[in-house]
């Protein structure tokens, strides 16, 4: 659910997630398992969010 909210938030602000679906699943599984820090998550979003055309 949080992945959907993140994508919606980005879309409202003119961005889209460019990561492959399996990367999104892996990342959100890592978040749920507390294997990523806030800094890690921020870096991931910066890496995989790009301005929508």
**Radius of gyration of the chain measured on its C-alpha atoms:** 11
Instruction: Give φ, ψ of 16 to 5 degrees.
Output: -135, 155
Give per-residue pLDDT as tens, 5-37: 999 999 999 999 999 999 999 999 999 999 999
Rounded to whole angstroms, what are the CA distances from 36 to 11, 13, 14, 22, 51?
23, 24, 25, 17, 24
Task: Write out the E strands in the chain.
Answer: 15-17, 49-51
Give the bridge partners for 47, in sequence order.
Answer: none
pTM higher than 0.75 for the full model? yes
């Amino acid at each position: 659910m949080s992945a959907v909210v993140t994508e919606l938030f980005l879309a409202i602000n003119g961005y889209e997630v460019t990561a492959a679906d399996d990367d999104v699943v892996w990342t959100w599984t890592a978040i749920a398992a507390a294997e990523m820090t806030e800094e890690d998550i921020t870096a991931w979003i910066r890496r995989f969010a790009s301005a929508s055309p």
